């Protein structure tokens, strides 16, 4: 079958294109179901010790909801690509296992601001508070908008209102929350603000995986 014949027949071109996409998808995606790095929730540190990837606790999960709601992912990815320029700046490149319990995951390549995959522990809690309330107080050239209202919004009235149901729903897709985790979710959030829970989420990003292979 000649290329000219395929290009002149719209129906045949569509079928051949679909077959090519399906074959490419199988070749790229199917092997992932059999790789340990994508099918297990453990990684190894430099000494070869197992690191257990744990799901977010209720507070961090509520913070993640704020992160998503406010569109932070539109400017900050949570994926470090395996390029020298990125690993030297941000740390070890991202691997699939560390996002095992993310629904949906926050990978992506849009970076108006820096990648946040390894931001946990790099800055103090007070730095994050200042940055959220007025980014230019700590990063003069930042074009990030201020999120000053987060300090006045109680998480229990917004992202934490149904946090127990959120945890319960995530168990249906394999996140290993216990009954104690679910029952204590609202109490864990307590009277924290949206700013508090968002900072808790950011401070936890990449801390376990800072020295894994």
Supply the pLDDT for residue 209.
64
Distance in angstroms (rounded) separating the CA atoms of residues 132 and 144: 9
Q: Is the pLDDT of residue 91 over 50?
A: yes
Supply the pLDDT for residue 106.
86
In terms of Cα–Cα distance, which of 59, 63, 203, 206 is closest to 147?
63
pLDDT tens for residues 11-54? 888 999 999 999 998 888 888 777 766 666 566 666 667 777 88
pLDDT tens for residues 180-190? 999 999 999 99
Q: What is the pTM of this model?
A: 0.80
Q: With left for phi above 0 and alpha for psi between -120 and 50, is residue 190 left, alpha or beta?
A: left
Number of H-type helices and E-type strands within the chain: 10, 2
Question: pLDDT category, 139, cuts 50, 70, 90?
Answer: very high
More confident residue, 110 or 184: 184
3 state SS for 102-116: CCCCCCCCCCCCCCC
């Amino acid at each position: 079958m000649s290329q000219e014949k395929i290009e002149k027949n719209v129906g045949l071109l569509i079928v051949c294109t679909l077959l090519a996409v399906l074959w490419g998808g199988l070749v790229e995606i199917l092997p992932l179901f059999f790789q340990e790095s994508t099918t297990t929730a453990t990684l190894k540190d430099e000494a070869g010790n197992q690191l257990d990837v744990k799901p977010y606790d209720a507070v961090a999960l509520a913070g993640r909801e704020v992160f998503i709601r406010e569109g932070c992912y539109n400017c900050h990815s949570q994926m470090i690509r395996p390029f020298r320029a990125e690993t030297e700046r941000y740390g070890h490149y991202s691997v699939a296992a560390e996002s095992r319990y993310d629904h949906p995951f926050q990978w992506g390549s849009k970076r108006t601001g820096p990648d946040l995959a390894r931001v946990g522990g790099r800055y103090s809690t007070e730095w994050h508070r200042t940055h959220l309330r007025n980014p230019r107080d700590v990063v003069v050239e930042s074009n990030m908008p201020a999120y000053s209202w987060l300090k006045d919004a109680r998480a229990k009235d917004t992202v934490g209102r149904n946090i127990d149901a959120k945890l319960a729903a995530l168990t249906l897709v394999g996140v290993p929350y216990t009954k104690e985790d679910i029952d204590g979710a609202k109490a864990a959030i307590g009277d924290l603000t949206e700013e508090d829970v968002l900072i808790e989420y950011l401070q936890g990003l990449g801390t376990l995986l800072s020295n894994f292979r």
